[in-house]
Amino acid sequence: MRRVRHYPVAGSTNSMRGWYRRVGFFRVVFNFLVITLCRYLPSLRLKNILYRLVGMKVGRGVSVGLMAMVDVFYPQYISIGANSVIGYNVTLLAHEFLVHEFRLGPVEIGANVMIGANSTVLPGVRIGDGAVIGAGSLVNRDIPPGALACGVPARVKKERFRTARPG
């Protein structure tokens, strides 16, 4: 089960309509500008510094690929362990706007994790150290350490997966 908090919405409007009551307008504008810059920035070191500036916890040696999108409303709920690789166009979400409720939960990515291109990680998910997520996957539940997971939704294919090391 994902670790998310549920916030029901009163009235007839959907939960996205009141986003500015949950997070400050100027904070979201700042986060958006920084995160949008990071999507195009080729420097991994500068990118990690900027992600930390918006509140993300980013370990040493993390590589976030071009066009990766992190949550602009709640980047402080995202943590990425040391030496992890976040592939091209990956989306990391810490919130979900639904019609009748809003959900919020941390995204915890362990050390030495590889998330393949075009994958999406939903709020409240923990990906264990050394896990590998296949390209195009939807991660909607926890992935154990060292596992290989892929698909929509992502399913564990191998419990203890090891990638070959050169040499």
pLDDT in tens, 100-111: 999 999 999 999
pLDDT of 31: 97
pLDDT in tens, 10-66: 887 888 887 888 888 999 999 999 999 999 999 999 999 999 999 999 999 999 999
Averaged pLDDT, 131-144: 97
Structural domains in the chain plus CATH codes:
5-158 (2.160.10.10)
Is the pTM higher than 0.95? no
Report the C-alpha gap between 116 and 60 in whole angstroms. Answer: 19
